[in-house]
Structure 1
Amino acid sequence: MKERLVDGAYALGWAALKHLPEPVARGLFQQIADYTWRRRGKGVLRLETNLRRVRPELDEAGLRELSRVGMRSYLRYWKESFRLQTWGTDQLAAQCQVKGMEQLEQALADGRGAVAALPHMGNWDLAGAWVAGAAGHPFTTVAERLKPESLFDRFVAYRESLGMEVLPLTGAGVSVIGTLARRLRAGKLICLVGDRDLSEAGLPVDFFGEQTRMPAGPAALALRTGAALFPVTLWYDGPVMRVVIHPEVVPPAEGDQREKTSAMTQAMADIWADGIREHPEDWHMLQKFWLADLEGVK
C-alpha cells in the first residue's frame, strides 16, 4: 500500500504540477519545504549532520538556518523536475547557465568521449536536460533502481523524455560498465552522479577532513577508454542554476590502475568539496554519507 501511494503521488506530481503557474508552484514547494524542515524528521536531521562537516564554524542557530535554506533548495529540485518536460530549449537556456562547455565539446569533437561527473548539487536533471536539449549532446547515464518498479519506470521514462539514455544500476541483465565503456569508445558522452557510493565497494576518499567512499566508476571508465573526465559543480543563483565544468582530471603518470583511479577520484572529491563549501545549501545529501555515520563501520 505504501509503495502504491508513493507511486501515485509522483504520478500526480508529473500530471498536475507541471501545469501550475510558476509563482504558485514556487510558493507551494517552499511551503512543503518549510513544513518538512519544521517537523525535524530523519532526513532533515541527517542533512544537518552532514552540513555540520561542511560548515563546522556555524553555531546551532546558523546550522538550522542553513538546513532550512537547504530544504528549500531540495524542494526546488523536485518542483523543477515535475515541470521540466514542459520546458523548451529557450527556457532551458535561460534557466541553466553553463561555464566550461567548450572543453567538453572539444573532447567529443576529438572522438575521445567524455565523462561528466557531478555531486548531488542543484538540479542534475536540469543540467542534463540542458546538455541534451539546448546544447544538443544526448548522453547516457545510470539510475538507481527504485521501489516500486512502476516508480522506477516513471523516472526512466521521464529522463528519457529529456534526451537521456538511462541504464538501471542493477537488474538489467547486461553489463552497465561494459555498455558505458562502449559509448565512450564511440566518442559519446556519459554523465554520472558520483559523490555517494551505493555499492559499498567504492574507493576511500578524504572529504572535508573525514573518510567516506565514492564510486570508482567515473575515473575507472576514463582510464579504461581514454575518455576525458570532467568534474562538474552546480548551484542555484536566484532564478537560474549555474554549472561549472571544471578542467579535465588527467591520470597520474605513475601507479597501477587502482592507484590512478583512487588519485583521480580524490581529485574530483576535492573539486566537489570546494563547490559544496561555497554553496552548502545546494548539496542535497539527506542520507548517511561519511563512514563514521554508516552502520557497521567502526
Structure 2
Amino acid sequence: MDERVAAAAYAAAWAAVGRAPEGAGRAVFRRLADRSWRTRDEGTRGLERNLRRLVGPQATDAQLRALSRAGMRSYMRYFYEMFRLSAMPPERILGDTRASGTETLEKAIADGRGAVVALPHMGNWDHAGAWITLRGIPLTTVAQRVRPESLYRRFTAHRESLGMEVLPLTGGSANTVAALARRLRGGGLVCLLADRDINGTGVEVELFGETARVPTGPAALAMNTGAALLPVSLWYDGPRWNIRIHDEVPVADGARRSERIRRTTQDLVRVFEGAIAEHPEDWHMLQPFFERDFEEDRARRARRETAAALEALGTADRAGVRAG
C-alpha cells in the first residue's frame, strides 16, 4: 500500500472508530478478519505457517484453518481496540481486565529495583500499557519507526495519550538503550515486545522445536541494571482482557556476557512458548518468524535470480546468433 494511502487509512480509522457504536465497529473488523481469512491473503498464510509449528503435523488442515480464523479475528480485534482505546472510559479498561501476578511487578517497583516487562505479540499490548498506567505505574516503551513519518508520530501520540513514554527504536536524537537503562536504575518500568528480531541483532533460540531469532534487549537490560525480568502474556476471554505477569526470569550465570544473555533469552522464550501454546489464537505473528522460513525464502529468491540471469544470458546468445 502507498505510504500516503496507508497514513490516510489509519487516520480515517482512528476518527471513525471513536465515533461509531462499539457493536457496529467490532462487527466491521470481524468481517475484515474473515475476508482476509477466506482469501488466504499474505498475512493469513504467514499466520498459518507459524501456527503449524504449534499444532504440529498431527493437526489436520481443517483444524489449522479453524485456528487461523480465530487468530485473524483476534488480530483485527487488537486493531479495533487500539483505534478505540483512547475513547474508552478508564473504569472500562480497569473493570474488564483480569490480571494475575501483579504483586511481583508492584514489589519490583516499590523496592526501587525496576522491572523489564517482556511480551510476545499476544492479545492487546496497548491495552495492557493503558491498564498499568491507570494503576499508577508509569511506563517507558519503544516504537518501531514506520513510514511515512506522520503515521509514526500518530502511533506515538496515541500511546503517549494513554500515559506511556515512547522512545524510538531507531533514528532518535538520544541513545534509546541508555535512556531505558536510566529509567530502570531509577526504579521504573520498561515494557518491550520481545518475540520479533526487527533490527537483526538478536540471538537464535529454540521455540516449538525450531530455531527462531529474537531480540536480546530485555535480557541485556536486566543484566546491566539489576532490574527484574518479568515475562507477561496477554489473551482475550470473551469481552475481557487477561494479563498474566509470570515469575521473574533470573539472569543466567556464566563467565561470558554474550552467553549469559543468550541463555537468559532462551529461558524467557520458554515462558512465551507455554503462554502461546495455551492461547495460540491470540498470538499475532503474521510475519516470517522461524529461521527455516527465512532460509526457504532466501533459496526461492536465489532460484528466481538464477533463472532470470540464465534467461538474460540466453536472450543475449540468441541476439548474438542473429547478428552473426
TM-score between both structures, scaled by the size of structure 2: 0.89
Q: Does 1:103 align with 2:65?
A: no
Classify the secondary structure of the residue corresponding to 1:243. Answer: strand
Distance in 2 between the 1:220 and 1:180 partners?
Answer: 11
1:4 Cα deviation after fit: 1.0
Match of 1:241 in 2: 241
For 1:291, give the aligned amino acid: E
Classify the secondary structure of the residue corresponding to 2:118. Answer: strand
Distance in 2 between the 1:172 and 1:229 partners?
Answer: 25
Match of 1:214 in 2: 214
Match of 1:130 in 2: 131
Q: Does 1:34 align with 2:34?
A: yes
Classify the secondary structure of the residue corresponding to 1:141. Answer: strand
RMSD: 1.3
Distance in 1 between the 2:13 and 2:97 partners?
Answer: 22
Distance in 1 between the 2:275 and 2:111 partners?
Answer: 29
> Within 5 A, what are the aligned runs for 1:173-212?
173-212=173-212
Distance in 2 between the 1:86 and 1:275 partners?
Answer: 30
> Within 5 A, what are the aligned runs for 1:44-193?
44-56=44-56, 57-133=58-134, 135-193=135-193
Match of 1:4 in 2: 4
Distance in 1 between the 2:299 and 2:259 partners?
Answer: 23
For 1:175, give the aligned amino acid: N
1:296 Cα deviation after fit: 3.8
Task: Classify 1:203/1:81 alpha carbon distance in 2 versus 1 (closer, same or farther; 3 Å).
Answer: same
For 1:234, give the aligned amino acid: L
Distance in 2 between the 1:122 and 1:226 partners?
Answer: 28
Task: Classify 1:136/1:16 alpha carbon distance in 2 versus 1 (closer, same or farther; 3 Å).
Answer: same
Q: Deviations over 1:81-116 (max 9, x none)?
A: 111001222111123211101111101111111000
Match of 2:271 in 1: 271
For 2:66, give the aligned amino acid: E
Distance in 2 between the 1:131 and 1:200 partners?
Answer: 30
Distance in 2 between the 1:68 and 1:277 partners?
Answer: 16
Match of 1:258 in 2: 258
Distance in 2 between the 1:70 and 1:13 partners?
Answer: 21
Match of 1:228 in 2: 228
TM-score between both structures, scaled by the size of structure 1: 0.97
For 1:210, give the aligned amino acid: E
User: Conserved in 2, the CA contact under 8 Å of 1:114 and 1:227?
Assistant: yes
For 2:113, give the aligned amino acid: R
- Larger helix proportion of the pair: 2
Distance in 2 between the 1:197 and 1:9 partners?
Answer: 27
Q: Deviations over 1:142-191 (max 9, x none)?
A: 11100111100100000000111111111113211111001101110000
Q: Deviations over 1:243-273 (max 9, x none)?
A: 1000111122333222211111111111111
Distance in 1 between the 2:85 and 2:299 partners?
Answer: 39
Indicate the percent of aligned positions where both proteins have the same amino acid: 52
Distance in 1 between the 2:22 and 2:186 partners?
Answer: 40
Match of 2:319 in 1: none
Task: Classify 1:190/1:78 alpha carbon distance in 2 versus 1 (closer, same or farther; 3 Å).
Answer: same
1:297 Cα deviation after fit: 8.0
1:46 Cα deviation after fit: 0.7
4+ runs deviating over 3 angstroms? 295-298
Q: Does 1:19 align with 2:23?
A: no
User: Conserved in 2, the CA contact under 8 Å of 1:207 and 1:270?
Assistant: yes
Aligned length: 297
Give ranges in structure 1 of 5+ residues lacking alignment: none
